[in-house]
Amino acid sequence: MHFDCGSCNGCDIEVLACLTPLYDVERFGIINVGNPKHADVLLVTGTVNHRNKKVLKNIYDQMPEPKAVIAIGACGNTGGIFREAYNVVGGVDKVIPVDVYVPGCPAKPEAIIDGVVAGLAKFAQKVEEAK
């Protein structure tokens, strides 16, 4: 599942590019779902602010355990260029635990796919630990 906290949409466009035939992220068995109750991995883009942090936390809480979170781009990792703004909380890890950080502004599709594969590995590790 992908959630945008609020961004310039550069990383969102790159996430969508991963779903096109050129990058074909589905070859790894990845399906983008719209319901957090059906998601194993959460991709988060954009800067977390005081208005959307509750929505992000709510989405995270609705996901079944085990789960993995991937913060994408400079805004998702640290708050980006807006991190000093009065309404910005910061990166995703200020609200929910993050398993994988994907750098870039915007993050390149190849980096996002590498991050998703790493997130799936973290998810598989959590599944094994839960047994």
pLDDT of amino acid 29: 86
CA angle centred on 73, ends 13 and 86, rounded to 5°: 110
Residue-by-residue pLDDT tens, the chain, 131 positions: 999 998 899 999 999 999 999 999 988 888 899 999 999 999 999 999 999 999 999 999 999 999 999 999 999 999 999 999 999 999 999 999 999 999 999 999 999 999 999 999 999 999 999 88
The CATH number assigned to the domain with range 2-130 reads 3.40.50.12280
> What burial class does residue 69 get, using C-beta atoms within 10 Å of its C-beta: 0-12 exposed, 13-18 middle, 19+ buried?
buried
pLDDT tens-digit map of 36-60: 999 999 999 999 999 999 999 999 9
Q: Where are the beta strands (DSSP E) in 77-119?
A: 88-90, 100-102
Output DSSP code: residue 64: P
Q: b/e map of 20-42 (b: 16 or more CB within 10 Å)?
A: eeebebeeeebeeeeebeebbbb
Interatomic CA distance for residues 85 and 102, integer angstroms: 22
pLDDT of amino acid 7: 83
Q: Say how many residues make up the chain.
A: 131
pLDDT of amino acid 30: 87
pLDDT of amino acid 28: 85
Cβ atoms within 10 Å, residue 105: 14
Answering whether pTM is above 0.85, one says: yes
pLDDT of amino acid 65: 95
pLDDT of amino acid 131: 82
